[in-house]
């Protein structure tokens, strides 16, 4: 059978420009032996490659119902991330197309946890306003001194104690923080014990008692705007919110309102809805925020782990092996 036929080992790798585009995906072809790998920056870019693809690897690029309909040979959509909200799962199910993430690989966990603490420390120590003031020859210490705080002794509320959430909790122990968490189910007792006798709380109670809240939940229809205006109002005015998971977990306008009103001490945000954010996003101009452009999970080391994990699942699928981390 010709390699150009739909049943051949054709793989479409979709890497949008804001994730590095074709230059980032240039090395993928050599990781899938015996396959024809086409790297594009959107799934619409090469209709012929989409039509012939048996597998799509997507790095946060949308795979819509239209894309799935236009790919009659498609068997697998492999998300190069923990998240999978950018794939139309209903359309995939209707076509019996398997959708996988890299959830069990832990590829992103280390760096996302580090980015979480980078944001927490920047907020606690007022790093950004202090730096900006000094570049303008302004000795800001008298002005920011009352806003400086410590992590030690504070309660960190973790929303989602998966692989990333557990890495965040481990680091929190090194800062002598107390740990509370919430999620769909309670963690085993030995996990709680290893994490400093972490407390399992309902979400609303966790928001009320936490000094820092860090989001590590997947984005699903049930978790979209999980933190809306009502839930943000449960946070103490001295509390900080950190989101390194998905932008749409938070009502961004409501968060901007809370920061502007001073009912929340600050926020560290690495993820936005949409990405990249538009200039009209009020959160970009809100007070007491530290922002980063979705850098959690994209260090040199992390990208290698992500790529290897995603590609290995595709290689296994093409070889007839059952895929890992099936989400639909």
pLDDT of res. 5: 42
Q: Give Cβ neighbours of residue 184 (< 8 Å, ≥ 6 apart).
A: none
pLDDT of res. 75: 97
**Helix or strand or coil: residue 179?**
strand
Is 158 within 8 Å of 168 (Cβ atoms)?
yes
Least confident of 159-163, 179-183, 306-310: 306-310
Supply the pTM of this predicted model. 0.84
**Helix or strand or coil: residue 290?**
strand
Q: Is the pLDDT of residue 164 over 60?
A: yes
Containing H/E element for 205?
A: helix 203-209
pLDDT of res. 4: 42
The residue count of the chain comes to 328
Q: Is 1.20.120.1150 the CATH number for 10-106+300-318?
A: no
Determine whether 246 is an active site residue: yes
Catalytic residue among 54, 67, 171, 294, which?
Answer: 294
- Continuous H helices in 54-157: 65-69, 89-94, 109-124, 127-135, 141-144
pLDDT of res. 6: 39
Is 22 within 8 Å of 286 (Cβ atoms)?
no
Q: What is the mean pLDDT of residues 76-95?
A: 95
Catalytic residue among 67, 246, 305, 317, which?
Answer: 246
Q: At what angle do helices 109-124 and 300-318 cross, to 10 degrees?
A: 150
pLDDT of res. 80: 93
Q: Is the pLDDT of residue 222 over 80?
A: yes
Rounded CA gap, 104 and 214, in Å?
Answer: 20
Q: Provide the mean pLDDT of the chain.
A: 93
CATH code for 109-291? 3.40.50.720
Q: What is the mean pLDDT of residues 95-119?
A: 93
Using H for helix, E for strand and C for coil, what is the string for 18-76?
HHCHHHHHCCCHHHCCCCEEEEECCCCCCHHHHHHCCEEEECCCCECHHHHHCCCCCCE
pLDDT of res. 289: 98
Domain regions of the chain by residue span: 10-106+300-318, 109-291
Q: Is the pLDDT of residue 28 over 50?
A: yes
What pLDDT, in 10s, does the model give residues 288-325? 999 999 999 878 888 888 889 999 999 999 999 999 99
User: In the chain, what are the helix, strand and coil shares in percent, each to the nearest 5?
Assistant: 40, 15, 45
Q: Would you put residue 294 in left (φ > 0), alpha (ψ -120 to 50) or beta?
A: left
Pick from 211, 285, 216: nearest CA to 255: 285
Catalytic residue among 36, 224, 275, 324, which?
Answer: 275
């Amino acid at each position: 059978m010709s390699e150009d036929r739909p049943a051949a080992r054709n793989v479409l790798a979709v890497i949008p420009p804001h994730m590095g585009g074709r230059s980032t995906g240039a090395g993928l072809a050599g990781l899938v032996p015996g396959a024809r790998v086409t790297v594009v920056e959107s799934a619409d870019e090469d209709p012929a490659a989409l039509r012939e693809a048996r597998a799509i690897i997507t790095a946060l690029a949308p795979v819509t119902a239209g894309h799935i309909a236009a790919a009659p040979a498609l068997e697998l959509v492999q998300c190069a991330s923990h998240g999978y909200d950018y794939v139309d799962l209903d359309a995939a199910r209707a076509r019996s197309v398997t959708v996988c993430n890299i959830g069990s690989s832990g590829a992103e966990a280390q760096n996302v946890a580090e980015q979480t603490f980078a944001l927490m420390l920047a907020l606690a120590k007022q790093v950004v306003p202090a730096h900006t003031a000094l570049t303008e020859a302004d000795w800001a210490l008298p002005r920011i001194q009352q806003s400086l705080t410590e992590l030690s002794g504070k309660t960190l509320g973790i929303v989602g104690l998966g692989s990333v959430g557990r890495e965040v909790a481990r680091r929190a122990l090194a800062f002598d923080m107390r740990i509370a968490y919430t999620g769909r189910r309670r963690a085993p007792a030995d996990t709680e014990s290893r994490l400093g006798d972490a407390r399992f709380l309902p979400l609303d109670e966790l928001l009320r008692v936490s000094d820092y809240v860090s989001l590590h939940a997947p984005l699903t229809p049930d978790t979209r705007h999980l933190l809306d205006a009502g839930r943000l109002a449960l946070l103490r005015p001295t509390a900080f919110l950190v989101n390194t998971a998905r932008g749409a977990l938070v009502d961004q306008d409501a968060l901007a309102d809370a920061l502007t009103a001073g009912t929340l001490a600050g926020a560290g945000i690495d993820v936005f809805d949409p990405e990249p954010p538009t200039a009209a996003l009020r959160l970009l101009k809100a007070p007491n925020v530290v922002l980063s452009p979705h850098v959690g999970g994209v260090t040199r080391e992390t990208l290698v782990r992500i790529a290897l994990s995603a590609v290995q699942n595709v290689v296994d699928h093409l070889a007839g092996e059952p895929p890992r981390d099936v989400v639909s």
